Amino acid sequence: MKFTKMHGAGNDYVYVDCFAQDPPPDPEGLARRLADRHTGVGGDGLILILPSERADAEMRMYNADGSYSEMCGNGIRCVAKYVYDHNLCRKPRLVIESAGKLLSLDLTIEDERVERVRVDMGEPILDAAHIPTLLPGPMVVNTPLDAGGQLFAVTAVSMGNPHCVVFVECATDELVLGVGPKIEHDPAFPNRVNVEWVEVLAPDRVRQRTWERGSGETLACGTGASAVCVAGVLTGRTDRRVMVELLGGLLELEWNEADNHVYMTGPAVEVFSGEWPA
Ligand SMILES: N[C@@H](CCC[C@H](N)C(=O)O)C(=O)O
């Protein structure tokens, strides 16, 4: 099986082109084996790039623990780069399907290759039942949550996948690595949750660390940065346009007032390709 390793702001996945070969029969098990940083290729998970009847391509993503996720912000930028650079569809605006949703992506092309991608992430889902969270709704904004005996004010947002945003003075290892997994598995989030720890540096700039559902701490999370942009506005902490500093790089976010869509812009990088024994 041929694969390509790519990353967006350091959030790295193993990509398998299923235009050219059959989709793997056990993507969950394959994701676990490939993602292992000692015995596999190494990565935050597996992303399949498939033909679609409704779009230029379909993305299907699996976390490092093999669990499926509906959406991946850094991943979808890399899928767009792969689709363009590898001549699967040579258009500067692509439509990519993920979990039945169609997303539109605008490519910045330099020397025939995609460097940056702006993704229309669609409208955030704020209704508690649809995130899903059992915290009292209809919206969960600055709502108290007890995690490991400590009380946090959390804001819940779905960008197709669930996020719990926590604004803090300092996103320490103790919070990210210690409390992050507790919130991921808290019964208040029946499908588990991605946890975003955020320091506000200015109304247009934040620093974020992410504990991802199914992958642990990653260097960046695109859907997470989108959720943070929305949570910053809902809690009155940030402007609608915000630069998000992540461990692996910068993402530009905007929650557009006119159409209620979130727009995310960031890099997409191809690292290397190889073959994995079937
Ligand atoms: N890193 C991704 C999100 C990947 C999926 C997530 N861990 C989940 O289970 O929802 C991103 O860039 O959005």
Q: What is the pLDDT of residues 158-180, one digit of tens each?
A: 999 999 999 999 999 999 999 99
CA of 109 to the centre of ligand 1 (A): 25
Give the start-to-end residue ranges of the domains of the chain: 2-120+266-275, 128-260
CA atoms of 190 and 178, how far apart (whole Å): 20
201 contacts 207 by C-beta, under 8 angstroms: yes
Calculate mean pLDDT across residues 271-275: 98
User: Can you tell me the mean pLDDT for 22-44?
Assistant: 98
Q: How far is the CA of 186 from the centre of ligand 1 (A)?
A: 18
Ligand 1: does its nearest atom lie under 6 Å from the Cβ of 160?
Answer: no
Q: Which amino acid is at 262?
A: V
69 within ligand 1 shell (Cβ under 6 A): yes
Q: Is 196 helix (H, G, I), strand (E, B) or coil?
A: strand
Residue 127 has pLDDT above 90, yes or no: yes
- Cite the active site residues: 72, 221
Mean pLDDT of the 111-126 span: 98
Q: Using pLDDT thresholds of 50, 70 and 90, give the confidence band for residue 193.
A: very high
Measured from the Cα of 221, ligand 1's closest atom is: 12
In this predicted structure, the answer to whether residue 278 has a pLDDT above a threshold of 90 is no
Instruction: Give dist(CA 5, CA 271) in Å, integer.
Output: 5
Rounded to the nearest angstrom, the distance between the alpha carbon of 112 and the centre of ligand 1 is 28
Rounded to the nearest angstrom, the distance between the alpha carbon of 161 and the centre of ligand 1 is 7
* Euclidean distance between the first and the last CA atom of the chain, given in angstroms as a whole number: 6
Model confidence at 232: pLDDT above 80: yes
- Residues above pLDDT 70, as percent of the chain: 100
Given CATH 3.90.110.10, say whether it is the number of domain 128-260. Answer: no
Which of 68, 212, 219, 244 is the best mutation target for the ligand 1 pocket, counting ligand atoms within 8 Å of the beta carbon and taking the most?
A: 212
* Average pLDDT in the chain: 98
Binding-site residues sit at: 11, 63, 73-74, 161, 194, 212-213, 222-223
Q: For residue 21, what pLDDT band results from cuts at 50, 70 and 90? A: very high
Architecture of domain 2-120+266-275: Roll (3.10)
**Interval 51-99: pLDDT, tens:** 999 999 999 999 999 999 999 999 999 999 999 999 999 999 999 999 9
CATH topology match: 2-120+266-275 vs 128-260: yes
Give the atom of ligand 1 at the shortest distance from the alpha carbon of 223. Answer: 13
pLDDT for residue 146: 98
